[in-house]
Structure 1
Amino acid sequence: HLAPALGSVDSDYKVVRYAGLQDLNSPWRGEPRPELEEAWDNVTWEVGEIPVSKEEALRSGLLLDPNTLVRFPEEYGGQIYTSVEWNHHLHCLNMIRKFIRFDYYKDKEHSFSFPPEETINHLDHCVDMLRQHVMCTADQGLIFSHWVEGYDHKHVDFNTQHKCRNFRSALEWAMERAKHPKMEELVRHPGAVDLKDYPENLTRHGGGYEGNFYYQP
């Protein structure tokens, strides 16, 4: 399917070498600190939701009645309410990152304020969404191992080379279009139709998943 962003985001792939050192000094990892929180917030909470037209929604692979879709309030333009997939993936990674240091984040992360079983269910969902994404893309890059002077065991080089989509362009596209309505502002618009069940249940059978081994019913 064609996501609406693909027509606007820089389509040139760039050769990038991953930073794979286990003890890497990176703004994206390590102990909680302002630099770390800013890096993750800039690609998760700051992005917001994306308004799209009905035509863009249909081109993006919408499987259900578009009249059941949540829309932005009229003061935000009234278009269909969406979020970009990579933003959800990063949200999931951020949740897992914070759960690793639960003692620090337990009183700071809203998602951890729910009963423990709900938090675990949320994290399980995140892990399985990331699993499906990894299996869907199935990166065929090779990881090499080397002998290093002074060591009797192999040393794996995770600094592998990849062709990557221009993430900065994708982020800029999302930030330029993003809206930030409050949850209480999202109400049924005139003419809205209700689904008879959760959308995941309605698309699970006969809605594009048949033969999809990434999804296990």
Structure 2
Amino acid sequence: MEKYSPTEPLHQRLLNQDASDDGESSSNSNFGFAMPRPTSVRSRLRENMTGLVSCLLLCYIAVISTVNLAAKSSSGNRSHHGGQESLDSMYPALPDLHIEYQKRLEWVDPRPHPFNLPASDALDTAWEDLLYSLNVRVRPHEMDLINETMANRARVTGDGYAAAMGIWHELHCLNNLRKLLHWDYYGPKYGGKENPEAFGKGHSDHCIDMIRQSLMCRPDTSLYPFHWGPDGIPSNHVKAKTPKTCVRWDSLENWAQKRALRPGEYSYVRDHSAHQHAKTQGEKKPASS
């Protein structure tokens, strides 16, 4: 019961009663559940701050990861191309020659193959095939590309000049030294001569020095750890287990075979002006002091 106040105006008492009735009606109409109170923007931000911070942190991590991945990819590409350029710079640029490379272990194989056979026709055939491109043709317009002039150069039929690539020159030298080591077998094949010109001391010394220069120019830096042999003596007859980057031989040989000057398929063209130039140079004597 409401307290009656004789001094309270009638209209005020009616208003207070209506407000009380409305509160009871509102409470009853929600079936026992309180209606949510309206909240401010600041309150909502405060309640969701943890989720918002977590979302921003995840976005930051995603951005950083993407940037790092892109940087590594770019660095890898630069490293790959840089490595390719570094390898290519070791060899002179030649017309239409695109050297390819491969990573592999050393070619040390105890099984028989043509190059570790005893002196025989089969071994000679393997070396002849390897030296197929000993001499190659260089076109006149290509002489400038290799920084050469055409003065006093040996021309051949079919247009062009005779040349030899360094690797085949060195293989030719190695083959000569191989034959000298087995002269008991090869001597009779060369008419029984003790020291034909191609196998004389002067030519052999030249070959040894050419191979020395080539090995020192492009040294193999693979390490070969010694192991204990059955006789208790350290042995270095082992192979390196670290892969090395090598020229893919086919990419070089295919280029050379297309230009190969095969015996009987060409002849030298005498250039009289060049011959005269060479003769004049040969006749010049050093000035006396």
What TM-score, normalized to structure 2? 0.55
Q: For each residue in 1:25-54, what CA deviation from the matched residue of structure 2 results, as whole angstroms up to 9, or x when unmatched?
A: 33112421232111111011x325211123
Match of 1:72 among 156, 161, 164: 156
User: Any residues of structure 2 matched to 1:131-210 within 5 Å, and which?
Assistant: 131-147=212-228, 152-156=232-236, 158-160=238-240, 161-182=243-264, 185-189=267-271, 191-192=273-274, 194-195=277-278, 196-197=281-282
CA distance, structure 2, for counterparts of residue 28 and residue 141 of structure 1: 22
Structure-2 separation of matches of 1:51 and 1:116? 25
What is aligned with 1:213?
Answer: none
Q: Which has the larger radius of gyration?
A: 2
Distance in 2 (CA, whole Å) between partners of 1:96 and 1:24 is 23
Aligned match of 1:2: 92
| Residue equivalent to 1:101 | 182
2:12 corresponds in structure 1 to none
In structure 2, distance between residues paired with 1:183 and 1:53: 17
Aligned to 1:51, the other structure's residue is in SS state: strand
Q: Which residue of 1 aligns with 2:88?
A: none
Paired residue for 1:207?
Answer: none
Task: Report what 2:123 is aligned to.
Answer: 36
Give the secondary structure class of the aligned counterpart of 2:226. strand
Following TM superposition, by how much is the alpha carbon of 1:84 offset from its aligned partner in structure 2, in angstroms?
1.5
- 1:191 to partner: Cα distance: 5.0
Contact 1:69 1:80 in 2 (8 A): yes
Is this contact kept in 2: 1:2–1:59, CA < 8 A? no
Do the aligned residues in 2 keep the contact of 1:107 with 1:113 (CA within 8 Å)?
Answer: no
Aligned to 1:12: 100
The percent identity for this pair of structures is: 25
**1:159-188 Cα shifts (integer Å, max 9, x gaps):** 224211011221121112212255993232
RMSD between aligned residues: 3.1
Whichever residue aligns with residue 176 of structure 1, its letter is K
1:20 Cα deviation after fit: 4.0
Q: Assess, with a 3 A threshold, how the Cα gap between structure 1 residues 138 and 57 changes in structure 2: closer, same or farther.
A: same
Question: Aligned ranges for residues 119-130 of structure 1 at < 5 Å?
Answer: 119-130=200-211
- Cα 1:114–1:78 shift into 2, 3 Å: farther
TM-aligned CA deviation for residue 128 of structure 1: 0.6
Question: Given that residues 19 and 158 in structure 1 are in contact (C-alpha distance below 8 angstroms), is that contact kept between their aligned partners in structure 2?
Answer: no
One-letter amino acid matched to 1:69: R
Number of aligned residue pairs: 187
Greater alpha carbon shift after TM alignment, 53-62 vs 179-188? 179-188
Once residues 59 and 94 of structure 1 are traced to their aligned partners in structure 2, the CA distance between those partners, rounded to angstroms, is 30
Partner of 2:252, secondary structure, is helix
Q: Report which of the two has the higher share of helix.
A: 2
Partner letter of residue 91 of structure 1? Answer: H
Q: Aligned to 2:188, what secondary structure does the other structure show?
A: coil
In structure 1, runs of 5+ residues without a counterpart are: 199-217
Correspondence for 1:202: none
Q: 1:132 to 1:101 in 2, by over 3 A?
A: same
Alignment partners' CA distance in 1, 2:208 and 2:227: 31
Contact 1:67 1:192 in 2 (8 A): yes
What is the SS of the residue equivalent to 1:163? strand
Q: TM-score, normalised by structure 1?
A: 0.71
